[in-house]
Structure 1
Amino acid sequence: MKAFRCRVCDNQLHFENSSCVSCGSPLGFSREERAIVPVDGLGRYVDAQGLVWHRCRHFDLHGCTWLSRWQGGQCSACDLTRTRPNDADTDGMALYPAAERAKRHLVYELDTLGFAVHDKGMDPKGGLAFDMLSSTHEQVTIGHADGVVTIDLAEGDAAYRERVRLQLGEPYRTMLGHLRHEVGHYYEWQLVRGDDLMARCRALFGDESQDYQAAIDRHYADGPPAGWEDRYLSSYATMHPFEDFAETWAHFLHISDTIETAGEYGLTAVAPVTAFSTFRDVVTGVWAPLTVALNMINRSMGKDDLYPFVIPAPVLDKLEFVASLRR
């Protein structure tokens, strides 16, 4: 994540700031300028071309500061949300802002890396949409189907999420991680097309045509295969080639975003990951030593490792494939 600065007083800003803590200027995020910009008392911003932008109408609903072209309209990030909790669902609405905050972070990162983000309103067949569902009164299954990512808002509750993480024996579980994983299914569906790409993908991840439900049943009945650590990022990735791709995609985003943030805040001196000739060089030359340092910092605070994963050699090839899908 980029280190932003206030255009009024040059104070440091964070991605979700709605006002500057130094000068008090109200703020909005311009996706077109990829910058946090000052807005007036009515939430308006005039760009260099004289166009007037307006802070998203969902600012009071879940804190969205992104700008819309229309007064009283919603921003392009909010356009991606197809379903949200009913206003009467107080539990769901309390957890809803965390999911939207993570989604905005995801969209910003996809823009940074050059992956097109089209909402289903503009592209009904190939677009992306999010159903942010509350499991207060019904079971919600996190997943992806035909461009629709379903998120269980209960995952925004830290106590709930930690309980599920321990039940499943996972080393890591976050709302942003869910979004990164599920959107990986979407981009595989959209980008891995054509005989050559499909052949390369199958050679790395396996035959995706194998029965998915049977693979799930087998995974939860028998667990991961022996020696899975030599070929996969996580035990969950062993379940089916689709899950292996999505896990790899999520880690591609984890790595890219964390390195950018570390560079922006002076923790490492490195060019953007998009400037490297291979993503393998990013992992071995930058990510590996950086995560050792970050893990040790966490341990110094008595916390678990920031990145509790080991990247075996075959996964470097998988990460390289995912990175090659950038346009």
Structure 2
Amino acid sequence: MQLFKCQNCAQVLYFENTRCERCACALGYLPERGALSAVEPDGETWRAMADPGASYRFCVNWEKRACNWMVEAGAIECLCLACRHNRVIPDLSDPERLALWRKVEEAKRRLFYSLLKLRLPTPSPDSGDAEPLVFDILADPPDRSAPKVMTGHDNGVITFSLTEAGDAERERVRTAMGEPYRTLLGHFRHEVGHYYWDRLIRDRGRLDEFRHLFGDERADYGEALQRHHQTGPTADWQDRFVSAYATMHPWEDWAESWAHYLHIVDTLEMAGAFGVRISPEVAEAPAMETEVDFDPHRARGFQTLIDAWLPLTYAVNCLNRSMGQPDLYPFVLPPAAIAKLEYIHTVVREQR
């Protein structure tokens, strides 16, 4: 994520801001320009200071305080580039569900920020694409004896459980599953990884090279899932995988690695926006030093990313521990996992 500032008063802004705290200007995100802009009403439309020659409308979900993205005034669509991918949303007449849905949409917009910056295909349901990127955001049924909604992916459709937006419930599941990390954004990044496996691996004739790194995806998924829940990962999983869940099946190894790739790129962009430089004074250790002075979305070689990422994670983990908090990035990247991340980087760059 980059840093933004108000074009009216130069106040630094957060990506989710809808109003500048200093000058009270309304704010809207222009996805085609990658800009969070101060906007002024202009009749039935808005004039964006980041693009004064065009007129815009807010996404209709702005009225529900669930979106701050804009569409061009002359566009047919009333939903923004992120919201138009929703196929099903929960009943928003319930205030609790509305509050949870807003959290889900906030995380999804951060996902789409990265997908658009990386120039990945994001066909919407009305695009005519044979396999569009679609989201069903569902609440659990009122009957407690009925099966609960499970977050997952199936043929381009990502089902997202609204329950995950509840902090207490998500933390309960994270603890019960023994996971070091569980967030809404992490879920989106993981599940969309399955979608891009279909688009960039299966449909692009890359199965042989995928199997060389990740294993044979033709292995029975149901059996792999059952085995994982019964016995867990192998004792040496940390030597080959980015997470314990990645050991379950080659598809999950890909999705976990894909999510981590998006973690790395997005966090490095923010570090670069702040001019972060890591140079510990306790010892001369080149592996602990970095200066994030490049655009991670355009880095040619993955080594540039990993050389900056490892020192950055050492630093932020230490900062978190100073506050008595868990590590911000509670993972260790062995060489085998780094090779998988590098492969994803190559696939993404070739797609661009």
Q: Normalised by the size of structure 2, how large is the TM-score?
A: 0.88
Distance 2:204 2:115 in 1: 25
Are 1:201 and 2:210 an aligned pair?
A: yes
Residue 216 (str. 1) matches residue 225 (str. 2): yes
Classify 1:195/1:113 alpha carbon distance in 2 versus 1 (closer, same or farther; 3 Å).
Answer: closer
Report if aligned partners of 2:133, 2:195 keep a CA contact under 8 Å in 1.
yes
Helix, strand or coil at the partner of 1:273: coil
- The aligned residue for residue 297 of structure 2 is 274
User: Which of 317, 337, 340 is 1:318 aligned to?
Assistant: 340
CA distance, structure 2, for counterparts of residue 84 and residue 62 of structure 1: 15
1:184–1:246 Cα contact (<8 Å) kept: yes
**Contact 2:155–2:195 (8 Å) recurs in 1:** yes
- Number of positions where the alignment pairs a residue of Structure 1 with one of Structure 2: 326
Partner of 2:287: none
Q: Say if 1:186 and 1:140 are closer, same or farther in 2 by CA, change over 3 A.
A: same
| CA distance in 2: counterparts of 1:38 and 1:74, whole angstroms | 20
Q: Which moved more, 1:301-310 or 1:88-97?
A: 88-97
Asked whether the 8 Å contact 2:45–2:55 carries over to 1, the reply is no
Q: Aligned partners of 2:179 and 2:212: how far apart in 1?
A: 27
| Residue equivalent to 2:270 | 261
Residue 57 of structure 2 is matched in structure 1 by 54
User: Residues 272, 136 of structure 1: CA spacing in aligned structure 2 closer, same or farther, 3 A cutoff?
Assistant: same
Structure 2 match to 1:94: 99
Post-superposition Cα deviations, 1:238-282, rounded to whole Å, max 9, x if no partner, equal: 110000000000000001111111110122332112343321331
Q: Which amino acid aligns with 2:322?
A: S
CA RMSD of aligned residues (A): 1.8
Alignment of structure 1 residues 233-272 onto 2, 5 Å: 233-268=242-277, 269-272=292-295
Matched, 1:179 2:188: yes
Please say which of residues 130-139 and 231-240 is displaced more in the overlay. Answer: 130-139
Q: Distance in 2 between matches of 1:321 and 1:11?
A: 39
Residue identity matched to 1:203: H
Q: Is the 8 A contact 1:144 1:185 kept in 2?
A: yes
1:85 CA displacement: 0.6
Residue 305 of structure 1: which of 321, 324, 327 is its match?
A: 327
SS state of the match for residue 342, structure 2?
A: helix
How many angstroms does 1:98 deviate by?
0.5
Aligned-partner Cα distance in 1 for 2:200–2:149: 27
1:149 partner amino acid: I
Q: Partner amino acid for 1:311?
A: L
- Residue identity over aligned pairs, in percent, reads 41
**Partner SS, residue 297 of structure 2:** helix
2:72 matched to which residue of 1?
Answer: 69
- Is the contact made by 1:28 and 1:55 (CA closer than 8 Å) also made in structure 2? yes
**How many Å separate the matches in 2 of 1:124 and 1:275?**
27
* Compared CA separation, residues 59 and 274, structure 1 to 2 (3 A): closer
Instruction: Using the TM superposition, give the Cα deviation of residue 94 of structure 1 relative to its aligned residue in structure 2, in angstroms.
Output: 2.1
Q: 2:79 & 2:214 partners in 1: Cα distance?
A: 39
Which of 157, 167, 170 pairs up with 2:179? Answer: 170
* Structure 1 Cα separation of the partners of residues 167 and 302 of structure 2: 32
Query: Given residue 4 of structure 1, which amino acid in structure 2 is its aligned partner?
Result: F
With over 3 angstroms needed to count, the CA separation of the structure-2 counterparts of 1:136 and 1:262, relative to structure 1, is farther
Choose from 79, 83, 87 the match for 1:78: 83
- The CA deviation at 1:142 is 0.6
**Contact 2:85/2:124 (8 A) holds in 1:** yes
C-alpha contact (below 8 Å) 1:233/1:309 kept by paired residues: yes
In structure 2, relative to structure 1, the CA distance for the partners of 1:256 and 1:48 (3 Å cut) is closer
Q: Give 1:165 shift.
A: 0.3
Q: In 2, are the aligned partners of 1:233 and 1:315 still within 8 Å (CA)?
A: yes
1:128 maps to which of 112, 128, 133? 133
Task: Check conservation: 1:37, 1:45, Cα contact below 8 A.
Answer: no
CA distance in 2, matches of 1:177, 1:100: 13
Secondary structure in structure 1 of the residue aligned to 2:206: helix
